[in-house]
Copies of this chain bind each other. A is one copy, B any other.
């Protein structure tokens, strides 16, 4: 293993998770929960298959990931974060917060998965009408997305599950999706763009009126 050789908590931490792709694997496992190899590959477009296998081995050796072989007839391998690996959530959350101002509209070559929004949505969503009955808003699709469950003021965001009944679904191009949840475009505009299906009030209910995190375009008057 490559090490910085420094007796410093940051350096020792980076010795374990500073390699390329490692924190993105953590993101996947934090978002999706225990996952199979092929699911991780789908959530990590651009990673070489041998590299994913290497990372999973290294992370297992470092005690961050556990590997479970399911017996017949399932015959699958499931990767999950250990407690120590899940403890990286704080690091990832701070990173996402720091990266938020970088979320200008995506380039044409850039990949997108709706479940990547899970960690940001946990920080962004609110229950604006806590006295209303519980509702679920889906972002993305049943195959790849997040389910935002609200009720009694509590918000829970999970990876979307096909078996969950939802009150509304929000989908569309990635840049618009991010702009909607960061409050840069109003719900009405998203609806006019055909991004919303189902109960539009459920969507209004969960969107926190967060002040714009993105820097204004150069030359804009503040």
List residues of A whose CB falls within 8 A of some B CB: 4-14, 16, 18, 20, 23-24, 27, 45-46, 87-88, 90-100, 102-103, 106, 109-113, 116, 119-120, 174-175, 178
A122 to chain B, nearest CB (A): 12
Q: Tell me which residues across on chain B come within 8 A of A109, comparing CB atoms.
A: 5
Q: Tell me which residues across on chain B come within 8 A of A116, comparing CB atoms.
A: 6-8, 10
Contact pick for A27, options B10, B18, B88, B112, CB 8 Å: B10
The reply to whether B45 and A12 contact each other, CB–CB distance below 8 Å, is no
Known: A24-B11, A96-B9. A16 touches B102 (CB 8 A): yes
Contact pick for A5, options B7, B27, B96, B110, CB 8 Å: B110
Q: Is the interface of A mostly helix, strand, loop or mixed?
A: helix
Contact pick for A111, options B6, B90, B94, B174, CB 8 Å: B6
A120 to B103 Cα, complex, angstroms: 31
Known: A18-B20, A94-B94. A102 touches B13 (CB 8 A): yes
A59 to chain B, nearest CB (A): 14
The reply to whether A7 and B98 contact each other, CB–CB distance below 8 Å, is no
Q: List 26 A-B contacts (CB under 8 A).
A: A5-B45, A5-B109, A6-B45, A6-B110, A7-B111, A7-B116, A8-B27, A8-B99, A8-B113, A8-B116, A9-B95, A9-B96, A9-B97, A9-B103, A10-B92, A10-B96, A10-B99, A10-B116, A11-B99, A12-B102, A12-B103, A13-B95, A13-B102, A14-B23, A18-B23, A93-B94
Count the copies: 2
A183 to B50 Cα, complex, angstroms: 43
Given contacts A7-B103, A18-B18, A91-B94, 15 further A-B contacts (CB under 8 A): A5-B109, A6-B116, A7-B110, A7-B111, A7-B178, A9-B95, A9-B102, A9-B103, A10-B96, A10-B119, A13-B96, A18-B20, A87-B98, A90-B94, A94-B94
A119 to B175 Cα, complex, angstroms: 36
A182 to chain B, nearest CB (A): 10
